[in-house]
Structure 1
C-alpha cells in the first residue's frame, strides 16, 4: 500500500493531446450527421423489463403461527411479505457489514503494525476507548444485529436462512463495498469511504424497517429495531469522524 500522492497518472485526455486531436478529427469525419436513433435498443430494453421474471420470491411461512398470521394480515389488506422481505434485506446487509468490519480491522491492524496509522479522533461520549476496541465493538454490534434479525424472522414464522428478493439485490449492491475494503491497494481512508456508504445505507434501511414493523403492529419488534438504529447512528458518526480526519490531514500517509 502506498500513500495517495501525485504520480504518473495518464488517464486524462490532457496527457495525450495528439491522440485527442486525432480522435476529434476522426469524429468530425466519420460521426453520423444526425442523432443516433436508439428506438430499437430502447424497445429491446422495454421488452426485457416487461417480460422478465422477478428477482426471486418471498418464501412462505414455515410455521403454523406464521401461516395464520400471514393469512390474517392479508384478509385485513396488509402485505406481511413486504416486512419479511425487508427483514431479509437487513439480514443480508448486517452479515455483509460484519464481514466489512472484519476486513477493515485487518487493514487497520496492518497499518498500526507498520507504524503507518496516524492518531484518529475519539468521539466525546466514548471515553477512553481506542480505535481498535471501537472497531471490534462496532463489528460485534453488526453481528448482534444479524442474530437479532434472525430471531425476529423466526418469531414471525419465516426462515432466516432463505434469501429474499431484497436480500439478493442488496447482496449484489454491496459487492463493490467489499471489493474496496478488501483491496490491498486501498488506503484506510478509502476503505472508510466505502464504510461510510454502508453506514448511510444501513441507517436508512433500519428507519424503513422500523416504520414497517410499526405499521404491522409489531411494537416489540419495532423497539428492537429502534435500539439497533441508535447503534447504527453512532457507527455513522464514528466512521465519518475518522474519514474526515484522514482526508483533511495536512500530510500524506499510506492510511490516507
Structure 2
C-alpha cells in the first residue's frame, strides 16, 4: 500500500476509514440477521445459515484487516474521519430496517442486499485507485476482498430474486443454500 499512500496518506486513511465503518456496520447487520435466521423454523432459512455465517466472518476479517492497514499508515483505527461519518449517516436507514423488532426476513435480506451494493462500490473504488497507483500489493489485497464481497452480493441477489419469483408467480419459495 506504499505506492498508494505516497502523495496523500491522510486521504487514503480517510478512504480506509470509510470502508472500516461500513465493514463494522456489516458485521452488526449480519449478526442481527443470523440471530433471526437461527430462530426460524423454516428449513430453507436454516439451510442458508452456514453461508450467511461465512459472509459475516468475511466482513469481520475485512474489518480487522482495515484496522491493521490504517494503523500501518499511522492512523487511528478507532478514530472518526469525514468519510466514515458520511458512511455512518448513509447506513442508518439500512440499520433501522434490520434492527427493527417486527421485521420480515425477506426485508432483512433486501436491506443486506442494499448494504452489499454500497460495500461493493467501496471496494471497487479502492481497486481502481490501486490500479491507478500501480500498487500491486494493495491491488491484490483489495481484489481479494472485492471478490468476497461480490460473492455476498450475488448470493443476496439470488435470494431476493427467489422471493420475488415466489411472490409474483405464486410459486413455492426456493431459497439458495450454496453460493
Shorter-chain TM-score tier:
0.7 to 0.9
The size of the alignment, in residue pairs, is: 168
Following TM superposition, the consecutive aligned residue runs of length 4 or more in structure 1 with deviations greater than 6 angstroms are: none
Partner Cα distance (1:145, 1:238) in 2: 18
User: Counterpart of 2:112?
Assistant: 195
Q: Distance in 1 between matches of 2:35 and 2:171?
A: 23
Cα pair distance change 1:81/1:213, threshold 3 Å: farther
| Structure possessing the higher radius of gyration over alpha carbons | 1
Q: CA deviation at 1:216?
A: 4.1
**Partner SS, residue 248 of structure 1:** helix
Structure 1 residue aligned with 2:176: none
The runs of 5 or more residues in structure 2 that have no matched partner are 174-179
Q: How far apart in 2 are the matches of 1:82 and 1:105?
A: 34
Q: Tell me the distance in 2 between the aligned counterparts of 1:166 and 1:188.
A: 30
Indicate yes or no: 2:22 matched with 1:105. Answer: no
Supply the distance in 2 between the matched residues of 1:155 and 1:213 (Cα, whole angstroms).
Answer: 17
Q: C-alpha distance in 2, partners of 1:138/1:235?
A: 6
Contact 1:196 1:236 in 2 (8 A): yes
When structure 1 is superposed on structure 2, of 166-175 and 239-248 the one drifting more is 239-248
- CA shift, 1:242, in A, is 1.1
1:139 — aligned with what?
A: 56
Distance 2:132 2:67 in 1: 20
TM-score by length of 1: 0.60
Residue 240 of structure 1: CA displacement?
1.1
2:86 counterpart of 1:169:
yes
Preserved contact between residue 97 and residue 108 of structure 2 (Cα < 8 Å): yes
**CA 1:153–1:218: 2 relative to 1, 3 Å:** farther
Kindly provide the CA deviation profile for residues 109-129 of structure 1, in whole angstroms up to 9, marking residues without a partner as x.
2223xxxx3636xxxxxxxx9
Q: What 5-or-longer segments of structure 1 have no aligned partner?
A: 1-65, 121-128
Which residue matches 1:119?
Answer: 44
CA distance in 2, matches of 1:212, 1:82: 12
CA distance in 1, matches of 2:162, 2:132: 40
Q: TM-score, normalised by structure 2?
A: 0.84
- Tell me if structure 1 keeps the 8 A contact 2:15–2:83: yes
Relative to structure 1, the CA distance from residue 139 to residue 243 in structure 2 (aligned partners, 3 Å threshold; closer, same or farther) is same
Q: Residues 37-76 of structure 1 correspond to what in structure 2 (within 5 A)?
A: 73=6
Q: What residue is the counterpart of 2:8 in the other structure?
A: 79
2:18 is the alignment partner of 1:93? no
How far has the Cα of 1:222 moved from its partner?
A: 2.2
